[in-house]
């Protein structure tokens, strides 16, 4: 039976380190508050004019491609997951294709918008394409440049302190061996709480969800004209409606419920037990969430890869960065059962099990 395996993996984080103390200088926050609530001590931020979500994705992709022992021209499908794309459209998939210098047009480039679950969703899509024999070298990238769009005033502190920039990439190839590869993936979604963790404006919602779904009156300052003017208004900018918002405690409660559910489902599908897991690589949402899930699974500290302390939450990039680091540092060895899981905006969540 053909399975997909990760044949090459790499990551890239920008050089600029921003510590909690740096953030103390621009907003009312403290290193103590941030560390206690999230475990984060520092994060990386991209350099404007030099780094974007697509270019960082390309840097990570180059490493993954090289380690897979292929060339850029061998890539036959691109999947790019991000919530902080360079442009509203076109997506980062084609921008990264250009950045990589891939001129071949026989390949497709698919953009995935599943926020923190983006990498798991991408892995699941790639897995299906490889299993069916459709593609032989799928390049899957998760990348984010949060720092360009966050609110650095005290108003935005609950969100801003959490997020960081970076990229991770994998190349997926077919394998006939039953000793390696992706064993199972699952994906879940529930739109009920879409706005609990969301970046709403600018957007083409026209106020609909606030009028019809939310029992909430929000003034977006729409102009009194027949056509247009709804995507981005001066009012939105003046009233700080153009930043991500998050109901932290609600998100936390959902996350600690959905992470374990997705993992148990994956284990059950694969006919395995939680004791079989050698390494757990959670989406780096918050150290406290990862520790909670670790306890639920009964895993030792050395069986969980946490790097949120150094990079913050890099959303779609966090799993491939963490997996890449764990592999580079020898914490994931051949034959290990690796469990990946994510939860985030949407809400969307999911898990994957793979034999390294
Ligand atoms: N620095 C200092 N104080 C801050 C702060 C910051 N960066 N952010 C918020 N606060 C303040 C709040 O204003 C509030 O003050 P008040 O009591 O005077 O009103 C107080 O801290 C508590 O705020 P609250 O939002 O209830 O804090 P919390 O204990 O829930 O922690 C999070 C906030 C965001 C760390 C926490 O809810 C969390 O981690 N949630 C999950 C988020 C997550 O994982 N998101 C990604 C999902 S993929």
pLDDT tens-digit readout, 117-145: 999 999 999 999 999 999 999 999 999 99
Domain boundary among 236, 258, 291: 236
Q: What's the pLDDT band for 203 if we cut at 50, 70, 90?
A: very high
Residue 293 has pLDDT above 90, yes or no: yes
Q: Which atom of ligand 1 lies closest to the CA of 345? A: 48
Q: Are residues 32 and 103 in the same domain?
A: yes
Q: Residue 1 has what pLDDT?
A: 86
Quote the tokens at residue 33.
């508050």
As for ligand 1, residues whose beta carbon falls within 6 Å of it are: 29, 33-34, 37-38, 116, 157-158, 161, 246, 248-249, 251-252, 255, 285-286, 289, 313, 344
DSSP state of 62: H
pLDDT higher than threshold 90 for residue 187 = yes
Q: Which of 179, 209, 236 is the last residue of a domain?
A: 236
Q: Which carries the bigger pLDDT value, residue 82 or residue 217?
A: 82
Query: pLDDT value at position 224?
Result: 94
* Model pLDDT, residue 178: 87
* Residue 310: exposure state from Cβ atoms within 10 A (0-12, 13-18, ≥19): middle
Check residue 8 and give its pLDDT. Answer: 98
How many CB atoms lie under 10 A from the CB of residue 215?
A: 7
Mean pLDDT of the chain: 97
The answer to whether the beta carbons of residues 243 and 151 sit under 8 Å apart is yes
**How far apart (Å, rounded) are the C-alpha atoms in residues 194 and 47?**
31
Residues 106 and 210 in one domain: no
Question: Are 306 and 289 spatial neighbours (Cβ–Cβ below 8 Å)?
Answer: no
Quick one: pLDDT at residue 217? 87
**181-189 sheet: strands from edge to edge:** 181-189, 348-355, 337-344, 279-282
**Paired tokens of 279:** 């390494």
- Alpha-carbon span 60 to 166, nearest angstrom: 9
Distance between CA atoms of residues 123 and 228, nearest Å: 38
Same domain, 83 and 122: yes
Q: For residues 226 and 325, state if they share a domain.
A: no
pLDDT for 210-257, tens place per residue? 989 888 889 999 999 999 999 999 999 999 999 999 999 999 999 999
Are residues 85 and 220 part of one domain?
Answer: no
| Dihedral sign for Cα atoms in the order 295, 301, 303, 309 | positive
Closest residue by Cα to atom 33, ligand 1, is: 248
Residues 251 and 179 in one domain: yes
Cα separation, 158 vs 37, in Å, equals: 10
Please confirm, yes or no, whether 116 is among the known catalytic residues. yes
Q: Where are the beta strands (DSSP E) in the chain?
A: 3-12, 16-19, 42-45, 77-81, 108-112, 138-144, 166-175, 181-189, 197-198, 245-246, 279-282, 337-344, 348-355
Over residues 22-48, the pLDDT tens digits come to 999 999 999 999 999 999 999 999 999
227 and 275 inside one domain: no
Domain count for the chain = 2
High-pLDDT (> 70) share of the chain, % = 100
Residue 345 binned pLDDT confidence (cut-offs 50, 70, 90): very high
Q: Which domain holds residue 177?
A: 1-198+243-356
Asked if 290 and 192 sit in the same domain, the reply is yes
Together in a domain, 32 and 174? yes
Contact partners, residue 330, CB within 8 Å, separation at least 6: none
Of all protein residues, the one whose alpha carbon is nearest to atom 26 of ligand 1 is: 249
Is 283 one of the annotated active-site residues of the chain? Answer: yes
Mean pLDDT, rounded, for 167-177? 97
Cross-strand partners of 108: 77
Q: Are 334 and 216 in the same domain?
A: no
User: Which atom of ligand 1 approaches the CA of 248 most closely?
Assistant: 37
Tell me, yes or no, whether 186 and 211 share the same domain.
no
pLDDT bracket for residue 96 (50, 70, 90): very high
Distance CA 347, CA 46 (A): 27
């Amino acid at each position: 039976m053909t399975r997909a395996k990760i044949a090459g993996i790499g990551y890239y984080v920008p050089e600029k380190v921003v510590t909690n103390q740096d953030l103390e200088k621009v907003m009312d926050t403290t290193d103590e508050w941030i560390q206690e609530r999230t475990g984060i001590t520092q994060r990386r931020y991209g350099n404007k004019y030099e780094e974007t979500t697509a270019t960082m994705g390309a840097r990570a992709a180059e490493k993954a491609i090289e380690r897979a022992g292929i060339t850029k021209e061998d890539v036959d499908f691109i999947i790019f997951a991000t919530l902080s794309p360079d442009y509203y459209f076109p997506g980062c998939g084609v921008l990264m294709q250009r950045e990589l210098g891939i001129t071949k047009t026989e390949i497709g480039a698919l953009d995935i918008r599943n926020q923190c679950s983006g990498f798991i969703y991408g892995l699941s899509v790639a897995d299906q394409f490889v299993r069916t024999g459709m593609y032989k070298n799928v390049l899957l990238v998760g990348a984010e440049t949060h720092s360009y769009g966050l609110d650095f005033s005290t108003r935005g502190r609950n969100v801003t302190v959490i997020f960081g920039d970076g990229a991770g990439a994998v190349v997926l190839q077919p394998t006939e061996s039953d000793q390696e590869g992706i064993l199972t993936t699952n994906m879940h979604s529930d739109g009920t709480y879409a706005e609990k963790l969301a970046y709403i404006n600018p957007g083409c919602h026209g106020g609909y969800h606030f009028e019809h779904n939310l029992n909430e009156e929000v003034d977006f300052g729409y102009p009194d004209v027949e056509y247009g003017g709804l995507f981005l208004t001066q009012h939105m900018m003046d009233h700080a409606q153009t930043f991500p918002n998050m109901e932290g405690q609600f998100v936390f409660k959902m996350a600690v419920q959905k992470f374990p559910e997705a993992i148990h489902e994956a284990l059950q599908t694969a006919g395995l037990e939680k004791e079989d897991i050698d390494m757990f690589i959670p989406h780096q949402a918050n150290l406290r969430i990862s520790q909670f899930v670790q306890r639920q699974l009964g895993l030792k500290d050395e069986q969980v890869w946490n790097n949120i302390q150094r990079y913050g939450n890099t959303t779609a990039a966090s799993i491939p960065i963490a997996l890449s680091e764990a592999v580079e540092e020898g914490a994931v060895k051949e034959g290990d059962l690796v469990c990946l899981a994510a939860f985030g905006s949407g809400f969307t969540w999911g898990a994957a099990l793979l034999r390294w």
